[in-house]
Amino acid sequence: MCAILGCFDLPTGDDLAALRQRAVGMSSRQRHRGPDWSGVAVRDGAVLAHERLAIVDPGSGAQPMTSRDGTLTLAVNGEIYNHRSLRERLDYEFTTASDSEVINALYAACRDTSFVGRLNGLFAFALWDSEAGRALIARDPMGVCPLYWGRDSVGRLWTASEMKALVGVCDDVEVFPPGHVYDSEIGLVRFYAPEWRDYDAVAGSDTVPTDLRSGFEAAVHRQLMTDVPYGVLLSGGLDSSLVAACAAKFARDRIEDDDRSRAWWPRLHSFAIGLTGSPDLAAARVAAEAIDTEHHEFTYTFDEGLDALPEVIRHIETYDVTTIRASTPMFLLARRIKAMGVKMVLSGEGSDEIFGGYLYFHKAPSTREFHEETVRKLDALHNYDCLRANKAMMAWGVEARVPFLDLEFLDTAMSMDPSRKTIADGRMEKHALREAFDGALPDSILWRQKEQFSDGVGYGWIDGLKDHAEKAVSDADFAAAATRFPHNPPRSKEAYLYREIFERHFPGAACARTVPGGESIACSTPEALAWDPAFADAADPSGRAVLGVHGGYTHAGRVPG
Domain total of the chain: 2
Kindly state the average pLDDT of the residues 9-32: 97
* Span 182-209, pLDDT tens digits: 999 999 999 999 999 999 999 999 888 8
Q: Which of 55, 56, 61, 53 minimizes the C-alpha distance to 37? A: 53
385 and 411, same domain (yes or no) = yes
pLDDT over threshold 90, residue 51: yes
Domain boundary among 456, 474, 491: 456
> For residue 262, what is the DSSP state?
B
Whether the CA torsion 41, 42, 43, 45 is positive or negative: it is: positive
**Domain of residue 265, residue span:** 197-456
Domain boundary among 193, 209, 224: 193
pLDDT over threshold 50, residue 561: no
Strands 3-8 and 157-160, sheet pairing: antiparallel
State residue 548's pLDDT score. Answer: 56
Better-predicted residue by pLDDT, 356 or 559: 356
State residue 441's pLDDT score. Answer: 96
Instruction: Decide if 508 is inside a domain.
Output: no
Instruction: Decide if 541 is inside a domain.
Output: no
Instruction: Decide if 490 is inside a domain.
Output: no
Instruction: Decide if 425 is inside a domain.
Output: yes
Kindly state the average pLDDT of the residues 11-40: 96
Better-predicted residue by pLDDT, 210 or 334: 334
Whether the CA torsion 169, 172, 173, 177 is positive or negative: it is: negative
Active site (catalytic) residues: 2
State residue 528's pLDDT score. Answer: 67
290 and 187, same domain (yes or no) = no
370 and 394, same domain (yes or no) = yes
194-208 burial code (b ≥16 CB/10 A, e <16): eebbebeebeebebe
Question: 264 pLDDT band (50/70/90 cuts)?
Answer: low
Instruction: Decide if 357 is inside a domain.
Output: yes
pLDDT over threshold 70, residue 344: yes
242 and 183, same domain (yes or no) = no
Instruction: Decide if 527 is inside a domain.
Output: no
333 and 243, same domain (yes or no) = yes
For the beta sheet containing 134-139, the strands, ordered from the edge strand earlier in sequence to the opposite edge, are: 65-66, 72-80, 121-129, 134-139, 180-183, 187-190
181 and 244, same domain (yes or no) = no
125 and 248, same domain (yes or no) = no
Better-predicted residue by pLDDT, 525 or 5: 5
State residue 59's pLDDT score. Answer: 67
pLDDT over threshold 70, residue 147: yes
State residue 554's pLDDT score. Answer: 38
Instruction: Decide if 502 is inside a domain.
Output: no
Tell me the residue ranges of DSSP E strands in 218-377: 230-233, 269-274, 294-299, 344-346
Domain boundary among 440, 456, 472: 456
Output the domain CATH number for residue 364: 3.40.50.620
The total number of residues shown for the chain amounts to 561
295 and 351, same domain (yes or no) = yes
Better-predicted residue by pLDDT, 521 or 257: 257
332 and 188, same domain (yes or no) = no
Better-predicted residue by pLDDT, 525 or 30: 30
State residue 525's pLDDT score. Answer: 64
d(CA 375, CA 16) in angstroms, rounded, equals 44
Q: Among 7-11, 67-71, 105-109, 528-532, name the one with the lowest average pLDDT.
A: 528-532
Q: Which of 57, 26, 55 minimizes the C-alpha distance to 40? A: 26
90 and 201, same domain (yes or no) = no
pLDDT over threshold 70, residue 241: yes
Kindly state the average pLDDT of the residues 344-350: 97
Question: 553 pLDDT band (50/70/90 cuts)?
Answer: very low
pLDDT over threshold 50, residue 164: yes
Please check whether residue 461 is in contact with residue 275, taking contact to mean a CB–CB distance below 8 angstroms. yes
Instruction: Decide if 516 is inside a domain.
Output: no
178 and 201, same domain (yes or no) = no
Better-predicted residue by pLDDT, 219 or 98: 219
Mean of per-residue pLDDT scores for the chain: 90
Q: How far is CA 201 from the centre of its chain?
A: 27
388 and 407, same domain (yes or no) = yes
Output the domain CATH number for residue 184: 3.60.20.10
Question: 522 pLDDT band (50/70/90 cuts)?
Answer: very low
> For residue 448, what is the DSSP state?
P
* Span 429-484, pLDDT tens digits: 999 999 999 999 999 999 988 765 556 676 799 999 999 999 999 999 999 999 99
d(CA 391, CA 162) in angstroms, rounded, equals 9
